[in-house]
Structure 1
Amino acid sequence: MILVTGGLGFIGSHTVRALLDLGEDCVLVQRRKAEVPAYLDTAQVTVEQGDITDLSALHDIGTRHRITGIVHLATGSMPWPPSSDQPVEAARKALGGLFNVLQAARDWGVRRVGVASTIGVYGGVSDEGPLGEDMPLPMTSSHVIPTFKKIGELLNGHLADATGIDVVNYRISGVWGPRDPHGALFFAAPELVHAAARGTEPDLSTLPGPAYAEDALDLCYVKDTGRAIALLQLSDHLNHRTYNVGSGRATTNAEIIAAIKKVVPDARIELPTGGSGRQSHLDITRVQQDTGYRPAYDVERAVTEYIDWLRAGHEN
């Protein structure tokens, strides 16, 4: 049985679905009560309410289930959302959650723990084109998420050596698709789809800067992200500790808009030209070679399914 922290969250729920499809039972650990989506409403899924910052609560879950692997996707591994209130305690709590997950894994004799990292760790790398896992990374970060993910990757390497647990880092690209709670937090694609589905103009005011048609990012449909993570968790042997999880290509806003217009021809989602034209994306050779993963969703398929999902009455 695979324990998934944040298993009812955005990436977590799709990862659980992929694990189920591969024949695994799952126990989902959530800090707060959350509705179980229909695609996870099965006897193979058990939901436990618990906080990863409470080691005794984690241990209690282990007394009720035989945990053989852990996928750690809970947002509690970093102080998010960031706050100026008690920042030292928030950082201590975030790192403590990671330590608790790894301590529980050692106590249960778990072979492999997968931990979510982010494409953001490559921030500041000047190279364009494929971003490979062996590239040297800047020691600085401009945002709390890549800051704590870099810290986590270093701690994971140390504790993997010290404990003998196979700790695997997932450097996850820009994820979008059904149940996305963020909207236009870091990139425009989710809000462009939402605006088309509801017949309004997109609200991109939450982005860190203006959005342009030429802006590009490695965008990975969430079902592909979940499947890649599931394959990394269940593979008999992995040759590395860190894997890029993405589509392996840079997708522009112009491509997203073109795909949307094929489904919603009158969508009011135009963006101005401009931007840096930067075309960086994740090199996914490692995960392909070690797991056989291949993205199943191109831009048009992802857009069509996402719009159908929203038109079916789902909020996000």
Structure 2
Amino acid sequence: MSIMVIGGAGYIGAHVVRLLTERGEDVVVVDDLSTGVEDRVGGATLVELDVAGTDAQERLELVMRQRGVDSVIHFAAKKQVGESVERPTWYYRQNVGGLVNLLSAMENTGVVRMIFSSSAAVYGMPDVELVTEETDPRPINPYGQTKLIGEWLMADCGQSWGLRWSALRYFNVAGAGWPELGDPAVLNLVPMVLDRLARGERPRIFGDDYETPDGTCIRDYIHVLDLAHAHLAALDQLDGEASGRIFNVGTGTGASVREVIDEIGRASGLDVAADVEPRRPGDPPRLVASPERIADELAWKAEHGLPEIVASAWAAWQAGPRPVRVG
């Protein structure tokens, strides 16, 4: 039997594909390569396909039958918050429509095991010290709403035709498990800072007047390799009794924007003095996960702290096409 990884040529997906391959699983990757890279899938089979396309359901069914797929891990989604505000209908078509195509293909082929890439964006701006899975989800942008709808849709499929699923709500993913699998997109804080340094520019901080110890936003940073192991733990749990579980994937410890930038300075030896710019709308002052449920139910915990996250991200960036000039 095979495991299908949707979006497996992307940043997080490629780490999961490598771990699955290393433990001897037969893996087929489906990716439209809009942000993924073919070289990242290693020896896994790659099917180039947009799951939101008009013929996606039929093509997915064909691959599922041909490869004997019995489980799916779904990463493929558009994830830029600002873009989702500007293009809401397109985001719903991509993220929700793509999931509908995938679940329809699974229903028609009898594939009933699914791990879903959700997001801390479903919580919006919760006024709590630690976000638990019981925190009321109130997304504040179309991206977060598409992820919450995805969870609802899987729950409905579980009741209707027996889908066995879990959703992982990620917080801030960074780092690299291997230098060649660093984050290729400049969308999150660590690669954004490294991109600025590579351009000979100063990092940027969006707002330093929040009600936090140093005035900058606090987030929960999770190493991408820890996150990849969480996917395997959630997939293995589907062999048991539990289904329809939602898990935060985080560390329970927050780091401020300024602390992350300072850590990049320590890892690189560079001057990382930052320019402070106005706040971005919709940024909560603090968003930190409680990892208690995933620790209790999956025996999973994060193994890497912020210094290791940043050091691995720095090594991966320097191994990439635009290394920062040092010295």
CA deviations 1:219-274 (Å, max 9, x no partner) are: 11222222211221122334652111223321222332332233223323446699
Is 1:63 the counterpart of 2:62? The answer is no
**How far 1:157 moved relative to its partner?**
1.2
Using the size of structure 1 for normalisation, the TM-score is: 0.83
Give, in whole Å, the separation in 2 of the partners of 1:71 and 1:19: 11
CA contact (8 A) 2:190 2:310 kept: no
Match of 1:46 in 2: 45
Identity over aligned residues, as a percent? Answer: 22
Equivalence map 1:154-173=2 (5 Å): 154-173=152-171
Report the CA distance between 1:314 and its aligned residue.
Answer: 4.1
Displacement after TM superposition at 1:46 (Å): 0.7
Q: CA deviation at 1:210?
A: 3.2
Name the structure 2 match of 1:282.
289
5+ residue gaps in structure 1?
none
Are the counterparts in 1 of residues 74 and 116 from structure 2 also a CA contact under 8 Å? yes
Letter in 2 for 1:115: F
2-structure distance, mates of 1:137, 1:23: 37
CA 243–32 in structure 1, closer or farther in 2 if over 3 Å, else same: same
CA contact (8 A) 1:218 1:249 kept: yes
- Comparing 155-164 with 234-243, which one deviates more in the overlay? 234-243
Contact 1:51 1:58 in 2 (8 A): no
1:217-232 alignment runs, 5 A limit: 217-232=219-234
Counterpart among 196, 200, 207 of residue 210 in structure 1: 207
* Conserved 8 A contact 2:79-2:143: no
- Judged with a 3 Å threshold, the aligned counterparts in structure 2 of structure 1 residues 279 and 89 are, in CA distance, closer, same or farther, namely closer
Residue 289 to residue 304, structure 1, CA distance change in 2 (3 Å):
same
1:252 to 256, 277, 281: 256
Distance change in 2, residues 1:91/1:277 (3 Å)? closer
Deviation at 1:76, TM superposition (A): 5.7
Which residue in 2 is equivalent to 1:2? 3
Q: CA RMSD in A?
A: 3.2
Q: Which of 302, 306, 311 is matched with 1:299 structurally?
A: 306
2:320 corresponding residue in structure 1: 313
Amino acid at match of 1:177: G
Would the alpha carbon gap of residues 77 and 255 (structure 1) be closer, same or farther in structure 2, given more than 3 Å must change?
Answer: closer
What's the CA shift for 1:2? 0.9
Candidates 241, 247, 258, aligned match of 2:245: 241
Distance 1:158 1:30, change over 3 A: same
Structure 2 CA distance for partners of 1:296 and 1:273, relative to 1, 3 Å: farther
Shift of 1:313: 3.0
- Kindly provide the amino acid, as one letter, of the partner of residue 18 in structure 2: R
Structure 2 unaligned spans of 5+: 177-181
Q: Secondary structure, in 3 states, of the residue corresponding to 1:97?
A: helix
Aligned partners of 2:69, 2:231: CA distance in 1, in Å? Answer: 17
1:261 maps to: 265
State TM-score, norm by structure 2. 0.80
* Alpha-carbon distance between aligned partners in 2 of 1:92 and 1:24, rounded to the nearest angstrom: 31
> Is 1:152 aligned to 2:150, yes or no?
yes
Q: Distance in 2 between matches of 1:147 and 1:137?
A: 9
SS at match of 1:201: coil
Conserved in 2, the CA contact under 8 Å of 1:4 and 1:73? yes
Provide the C-alpha distance between the structure 1 equivalents of 2:319 and 2:92, rounded to a whole number of angstroms.
40
Matched, 1:107 2:104: no
Shift of 1:108: 2.9
